[in-house]
Amino acid sequence: MDGMSTVAPPQTLPQANDACWCGSGRKYKRCHRPLEGRVVQGEISPYRPVPAHIERPPYADTGKAVRWNEPLVKSPEIIERMRHASTMALEVLTLAGTMVAPGVTTDEIDVYVHDLCIERNCYPSPLNYGGYRKSVCTSVNEVICHGIPDSRPLQDGDIVNLDVTTYIGGVHGDTNATFFVGDVDPASRRLVEVTDECMWKGIEAVRPDRPISDIGKAIEDHAKKHHLGVVKAFVGHGIGEQFHHPNLQILHYYDSRGNTVIMRPGMTFTIEPMITLGTWQHKMWDDDWTAVTADGKRTAQFEHTILVTDDGYDVLTGGEGAVSPFAPWKR
């Protein structure tokens, strides 16, 4: 499906029991009234090809990710390649963030990200991963993750997450950040700032010989302190030669029974909490990619690719001890 209706609502909205303005034949209260104020998907443009000289991940042509038992602890040579891929991802994300402004479409941002990746001899990892049609994920307002770039212009007051992953040298580097679009309300600004803090709380919990569950506990504790929700359905993941390692998940909430893997030097994974103003529960759009909060309230996300070291962590997409260099309130 290429998208939902993009017919604009009239200046004066109908009464609850009137026919909906979109022409569906349903009553307004049963059709578009529940969606007013929420993100409505626009038209999705065709797939953009990648030049033949760019090295491709195994799924690039088929759309099917082949899983294998990749070592959780990476070799020094793989780590150095991941460091380069992560640097490329950070560069692309930082530049993509400069495009965020009222009136700019997420499709235009996708074109820019696609071109930035090609300029760096990188393959944009999301492209055709499981059939995903774009080179970046753009998640606006109540969209939790995996939003598909489309023709909808960003509006003053929106927040938008840009999720960039690059593939080069046979490995992936993955990072994302949430940006302000114009003049954003105080509650949304606070949500974004606390989400960034939650990510760093999780990163600071990375220590060798400690269980992975320490990460989720640190994130959840900080979110609860600010009376915010933590999405449970979508998690961080092992990363390296595979975009998503099949045997390593990083929960952003505390679960001592299901998240018992012990962190070891050389392990690489993402920490990417999705924090909400309301419920942590989600719904899926008909495109089978876009996840939104069940109550329609806003959500934010930040992400880094992390290496476990002998005495703590290294942020491959930011450098050890880095602050979020693209955080919109710090620009």
DSSP 161-187: EEEEEEEETTEEEEEEEEEE-SS--HH
Is 78 within a domain?
A: yes
What contacts 15, CB < 8 A, 6 or more positions away?
Answer: 28
Residue closest to 122 by CA, chosen among 133, 114, 132: 114
pLDDT for the residue 292: 97
Side-chain half-sphere of 37: how many Cα atoms within 13 Å? 6
* C-beta neighbour count of 53 within 10 angstroms: 7
In the structure, what pLDDT confidence band is assigned to residue 19 with cuts at 50, 70 and 90? Answer: confident
* C-beta neighbour count of 112 within 10 angstroms: 18
SS3 328: helix
Is 34 within a domain?
A: no
How far is residue 111's CA from residue 115's CA, in Å, rounded to a whole number? 6
- C-alpha dihedral sign at 193, 199, 205, 211: positive
How far is residue 38's CA from residue 23's CA, in Å, rounded to a whole number? 19
pTM for the model: 0.88
Residue in the structure block whose two tokens are 């055709």: 128
Rg (CA), the chain: 20
| Consecutive H or E run containing 197 | helix 186-204
Residue ranges making up the domain that contains 259: 72-330
**Count of domains forming the chain:** 1
User: Alpha carbon 3 to chain centroid distance?
Assistant: 20
- C-alpha dihedral sign at 286, 289, 294, 295: negative
User: Burial of 217 by CB count in 10 Å (0-12 exposed, 13-18 middle, 19+ buried)?
Assistant: buried
CA distances 298 to 121, 140, 319, 330, Å, are 35, 8, 29, 21
Is 55 within a domain?
A: no
For residue range 171-202, what is the model confidence (pLDDT) as tens digits? 999 999 999 999 999 999 999 999 999 999 99
pLDDT for the residue 29: 57
SS3 87: helix
Residue in the structure block whose two tokens are 């803090």: 197
Mean pLDDT of 247-257: 92
How far is residue 304's CA from residue 324's CA, in Å, rounded to a whole number? 9
In the structure, what pLDDT confidence band is assigned to residue 288 with cuts at 50, 70 and 90? Answer: very high
pLDDT for the residue 6: 38
Is 13 within a domain?
A: no
For residue range 148-172, what is the model confidence (pLDDT) as tens digits? 999 999 999 999 999 999 999 999 9
pLDDT for the residue 326: 45
For residue range 63-120, what is the model confidence (pLDDT) as tens digits? 999 899 999 999 999 999 999 999 999 999 999 999 999 999 999 999 999 999 999 9
Q: What is the CATH number of the domain that holds 326?
A: 3.90.230.10
Is 9 within a domain?
A: no
Is 214 within a domain?
A: yes
Is 102 within a domain?
A: yes
Is 30 within a domain?
A: no
